Amino acid sequence: MPYYMVQAAYSQAATAAMVKNPQDRAEGLRPVIERLGGKLLSLYFAFGEYDVVGVAEMPDNVSSAAFSIAISASGAVRAVKTTPLMTVQESIEAMRKAGQAGYRPPA
């Protein structure tokens, strides 16, 4: 199954709710991801542009997009960024294919 990294920035209201009632958001996200056929692998809180970073296995792009749309539609996040991830083995395969693609740069 493909891997996806999801970064999200909470809305002010969601952040205020978590300050008032601290909670393990992995427990709230895990069932949603599982209903979409995926598996939450890790979830971290972060500093900077995004408040939370998660990695999940999802069956396909449509399922990953559905998750992103669902959390966006909730109003709990003000920004979401989803990045497809490749394993090292997949990247090696991609590099091999690139080497055989025959691309020629502009001359």
The Cβ-side half-sphere exposure at 44, using a 13 Å CA radius, reads: 9
Q: Is 3.30.70.920 the CATH number for 3-100?
A: yes
Give the tens place of pLDDT for each residue, 40-58: 999 999 999 999 999 999 9
Nearest Cα neighbor of 75 from 5, 6, 12 is 12
Give the tens place of pLDDT for each residue, 55-69: 999 999 999 999 999
Contacts made by residues 92-95, CB under 8 angstroms, sequence distance 24+: none
- C-beta of residue 63 within 8 angstroms of C-beta of residue 37: yes
Kindly report whether the global pTM for this prediction surpasses the value 0.85. Answer: yes
